Amino acid sequence: MAVRINTLPPRYEDVEHIARGGMGDVYRARDKTLGRTVAIKVLAERYAEDEDVKRRFRNEALAAARLSNAPSTVTIFDVGEGSEQPFIVMEFLEGGSLEHRLRSGPQQIAEALRWLEQAAAALDAGHAAGVVHRDVKPGNLLLDGRGDVHVADFGVASAAGLDSLTVTGTVLGTAGYLAPEQARGERATPASDRYALAVVAWELLTGRRPFESDTPTAEATAHVHAPLPSFSPELDPVFGRALAKDPAARYPTAAAFVADLRRALEPAAAAAGPAPVRRRGILVPLLLVLALALLGGGLAVATLVGGSDEPTQTVVQRQTVTTEGETITTNVTHTVTTQAEPPPPPPPTAAPAPPPSGRSGVQLTDEATSLLDHGRWPEAEALARQAVQKLAGSGQVYEAYAEYNLGRALAEQGKCGDALQHLTRSEQLQGSRPPITQAKELCA
């Protein structure tokens, strides 16, 4: 969709429409004066006819421009008006938004925390400067080429009166992130922004919003009246405070919320139980005995001994093993009954089973998710199996993720019998989700 040529100054060329929102349209263009690619947000015509809205749009844009040097905030280069349509020129970020990332489901915990910390720093800086965002949502959290978050659209929602449900039909797309006071039609405050960030955090970790409903109006109403659903024993106190109905009961800063979230997630990961660590003093002799059994050779002497109901044999084998720069000759003695055939030695090509992973179930799940993203199905299956074993019965949301990862990896390889079992278990734990349905369709 092309923008009217007389809306923007002639310095902006190669204009291309890239997005549309409740406020208006966003375009990518080249600033030929400075030789850089920019993003330009143009106020929709239905608002441009209202002089009061236009004035507030410009004022809010100028206020947001003061934050251009703040951490993790989209830089605003210019604010202007063409053909009676105000516009804002800002830096173009090529990494998309968190809204795009969430289309694939829950995000890795480490990355989600990093994004939340960056968004929190931007919001706290804006609040310190007296600017309230009013429309914190994944679509306004943009990613640069390094995968870092930058907060866009500070204060712009207020310019068009979109910070509450009082403007019919204009805010329903973001009702899922409205603080209760906004849903009641009251003015937004910094506490409202922090509430919305907590909703984003919930969605990044689970793939769903806490009050997700069939209709935007029902969801907005739930923010006002419905009790907060349980997330997990470790995280319920954190989200209980961050999503309190009373703004005064919430965290004093966005950074304080994310810091508590990180602290709560660390013991949650530990609760999955790290695998036992095999100490070197135990493992090395065991491997030496296995190596001797595989290599064979030397002199064997058998003698009958008494002292038990069943005759036994004491077998002494003389074995020679050459290691780096040293040859070791040793006698290995073991006792067996004469009534049972000793088990055959493992075939020469067999290798000892690898020791259990020392990583937690949460860590294994994150790694399996990354492998799935890169299409490495067998490797993802192996890690997901370990994660499922460690998280089984924990009731944590990561148990649902681990079951999904294993089911998806199996389905991608055509192992549908086992795949459907794990996908169904994931659905039981976290409810029906589009990624689960899509994975099941691989086996349809």
**pLDDT one-digit tens code per residue, 27-45:** 999 999 989 999 998 888 7
**pLDDT band for position 437 (50/70/90)?**
confident
**What type of residue sits at position 53?**
V
Region 128-137 average pLDDT: 89
**Between 158 and 147, the higher pLDDT residue:** 147
Q: For position 42, what pLDDT does the model report?
A: 87
- 237, pLDDT greater than 90: yes
What percent of the chain stands above pLDDT 90?
A: 41
Q: For position 35, what pLDDT does the model report?
A: 92
Q: For position 136, what pLDDT does the model report?
A: 94
Residues 196-199: contacts with CB under 8 Å, at least 24 apart:
196/133, 196/135, 196/136, 196/137, 197/116, 197/119, 197/120, 197/123, 197/136, 197/242, 197/254, 197/257, 197/258, 198/239, 198/242, 198/243, 198/257, 199/243
| Cα angle, residue 98 at apex, residues 95 and 100 outer, rounded to 5° | 75
Which of the given ranges, 1-5, 56-60, 64-68, 228-232, has the highest pLDDT on average? 228-232
**Between 83 and 381, the higher pLDDT residue:** 381
**What type of residue sits at position 283?**
L
What percent of the chain stands above pLDDT 70?
A: 72
Region 157-180 average pLDDT: 57
Token pair, residue 367, equals: 């790694």
Q: How far apart are CA 133 and CA 152, in angstroms?
A: 9
Residues with a catalytic annotation lie at: 135
Which value, in Å, is the radius of gyration of the alpha carbons in the chain?
A: 31
Q: For position 306, what pLDDT does the model report?
A: 40
**Between 142 and 310, the higher pLDDT residue:** 142
Residue partners of 318: CB distance under 8 A and separation at least 6: 298, 299, 300, 329, 330, 331
Average pLDDT, the chain: 77
Which pTM value belongs to this model?
0.59
Q: How far apart are CA 409 and CA 375, in angstroms?
A: 9
- 72, pLDDT greater than 50: yes
Domains and CATH numbers, the chain: 12-271 (1.10.510.10), 280-337 (no CATH), 361-441 (1.25.40.10)
25 neighbors 44 (Cβ within 8 angstroms): yes
